[in-house]
């Protein structure tokens, strides 16, 4: 999928969610934006990760054993013990 199409899908997904008057399942969003389920799910995950990466304090406070980071090519998962000296309290 081209970068332009990804941005368009992201914007359509955000628009559907903002207009909703009740919680939405991924399947409902998929039907409204006319896209593949996995693509919609991945796009939603990317939106969440983009927001979290802009708020590192929130990112480190999540009760996860890793920090998700989106790179230009992939999603990588960094163990908390390797991320800026943040202690993993779940050890």
Domain parsing of the chain, residue ranges: 3-54, 62-91
Summarize pLDDT for 25-81 with one digit per residue, the tens. 999 999 999 999 999 999 999 898 888 888 878 877 878 888 888 887 888 888 888
Residue 52 CB partners (closer than 8 Å, separation 6+): 58, 59, 62, 68
Compute the Cα dihedral for 50, 5, 41, 76 and give only its sign: negative
pLDDT: is 84 or 11 the higher one?
Answer: 11
């Amino acid at each position: 999928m081209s970068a332009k199409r990804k941005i368009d899908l992201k914007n359509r997904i955000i628009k559907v969610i903002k207009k909703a008057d009740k919680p939405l399942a991924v399947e409902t969003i998929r039907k409204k934006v006319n896209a593949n389920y996995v693509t919609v799910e991945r796009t939603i995950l990317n939106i969440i990760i983009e927001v979290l990466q802009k708020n590192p304090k929130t990112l480190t406070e999540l009760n996860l054993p890793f920090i998700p980071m989106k790179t230009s090519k992939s999603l990588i998962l960094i163990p908390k013990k390797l991320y800026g000296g943040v202690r993993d309290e779940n050890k």
